Structure 1
Amino acid sequence: MDQVRNRSLGLRSALFLLIVVVGIAIGYFIIKPSDTLPIYHPNQLDQRLVDPAIKGAKGEHHIRDFDLIDQFGGHFTLNDVGERIIVADFFFTTCPTICPKMTVQMERVQEAYRDEDRLLLLSHSVTPEMDSVPVLATYAELHRADPKRWRFLTGDRKQIYMLARQSYFAAMDEGDGGPDDFVHTENFVLVDPLRRIRGFYDGTSPTDVDRLIRDIGTLLKEQKPT
């Protein structure tokens, strides 16, 4: 009789242990961070970020091509980006408020991936009439920008504003890029090599930029090393 009770107790203990192990395993897979990032399209976003010109657009959203001027005075397009991951922001060199904080955080991103050839940082000036090539070159040097990793872009104002609103969804306000229009946004935007948006981040927040740095690592794992 004792042997039967002991065997029964042993079976119940084993069953209980099995239930605990299975429960832990299920819980792990439920709460563990996803190893893939979302792909953002206009209909998934806060509609205040989506320019009226592309609301209701169907299919995948991709960053449009552009032709701007970098801090070295050369033309810079998506062809120059190649198959690299992009982190984009919009700033101006004389900004006294959010832009200095954003630039410091972009420096952190550069430092975190200083030896990573598959990443490119793009900072677009929203006052291109003031941020000339020499001004951007000085600003880039001041912030220790590695030209292989970080480009500062100026050029046609309307094109830059269209990129901010219709490609990167970086600004909530509407406008036409004219003299009275102004984009002022703290957003950093993460873009994969297929030109799809994979994340939005507050570029003034060290905590959110920590998340960006982690997400870049996740995105790099999707790519084969060059």
Structure 2
Amino acid sequence: MKYRCLVVIAILISFCSISCNNWGGNELPVYSPSDFNAELVDVSLQSKDGNHTVSDFKLINQNGNIITQEDYKDKIYVVDFFFTRCPSICPIMTDNMVKIQNEFSNNNDVMLLSLSVTPELDSISVLRKYANDKKAIDEKWNITTGDKRHIYELARKSYFAVVEQGDGGMQDFIHTPNFILVDKKRQIRGVYNGTDDEEINRLKDDLRILMKFNEKSL
């Protein structure tokens, strides 16, 4: 019994240490690959601890414009992976992205980024119609297509959005409800279920926390 108590205490001390290191006084944790369930992390990164930033990207948005990290420089942004023909979770996710867009429409620090997981089907014209239907604000929300291998590598190695391993090839397919919150330093600050109202409210709260922290650090 005494041994079990000592083990429990050790686990609690370890958990507290991890939490304190993650929070670092920044109000929200900064996530590294080792903080995620290993299933969500590409095998090449599973043992990496600390200093993770999302990779550079090159995508094409609903207006046919090339979108890169430069378009999100000094921005806080929310990322999701979707496809326009999805009949299940994607419509819910997109509706929730619209809610986030509308709530932060007057805040230039907050942006959104959606990446199609079926880029071969989601052409610029398809995305343009989709953006129009959802009343996406072009300056705030880029709904993108691009090279499939590049998008799938971003999902697995930058944003840790999916469980399935794969190579981004013809037979590869990912489907995830996750929304990922990224700060101005390109660090992951939260992961949320994009189909759950409570999770969306938590995301909104975390966006406000990040904005307040950024204001204090100026």
Q: TM-score, normalised by structure 2?
A: 0.86
Alignment partner of 1:134 is 2:153: no
Which secondary structure does the structure 1 equivalent of 2:59 belong to? Answer: strand
Corresponding residue number in structure 2 for 1:148: 139
Which protein is bigger by CA-based radius of gyration? 1
Which secondary structure does the structure 2 equivalent of 1:223 belong to? Answer: helix
Q: Give, in whole Å, the separation in 1 of the partners of 2:134 and 2:100.
A: 12
Corresponding residue number in structure 2 for 1:70: 61
Corresponding residue number in structure 1 for 2:174: 183
Which secondary structure does the structure 1 equivalent of 2:44 belong to? Answer: helix
Cα gap change, 1:35/1:51 in structure 2, threshold over 3 Å: closer, same or farther? closer
Corresponding residue number in structure 2 for 1:157: 148
Identity %: 45
Q: Give, in whole Å, the separation in 1 of the partners of 2:153 and 2:73.
A: 21
Q: Give, in whole Å, the separation in 1 of the partners of 2:32 and 2:101.
A: 27
Amino acid at match of 2:132: E
Match of 1:100 among 91, 111, 131: 91
Alignment partner of 1:44 is 2:69: no
Unaligned runs of 5+ in 2: 1-24
- Deviations for 1:46-82, whole angstroms, at most 9, x for unmatched residues? 1110101212224310000011111111111001111
Amino acid at match of 1:131: D
Which secondary structure does the structure 2 equivalent of 1:224 belong to? Answer: helix
- Deviations for 1:14-57, whole angstroms, at most 9, x for unmatched residues? xxxxxxxxxxxxxxxxxxxx971100001111111010121222
132-141 vs 56-65, greater mean Cα deviation: 56-65
Post-superposition, which runs of at least 4 consecutive aligned residues in structure 1 deviate over 4 A?
none
Q: Give, in whole Å, the separation in 2 of the partners of 1:76 and 1:55.
A: 28
Unaligned runs of 5+ in 1: 1-33
Deviation at 1:86, TM superposition (A): 1.1
Corresponding residue number in structure 2 for 1:211: 202
The answer to whether the 8 Å contact 1:189/1:199 transfers is yes
| Residues paired across the two proteins, number | 193
Q: Give, in whole Å, the separation in 2 of the partners of 1:203 and 1:89.
A: 8
The answer to whether the 8 Å contact 1:35/1:218 transfers is no
Q: Give, in whole Å, the separation in 2 of the partners of 1:45 and 1:53.
A: 14
Q: TM-score, normalised by structure 1?
A: 0.83
Alignment partner of 1:83 is 2:93: no
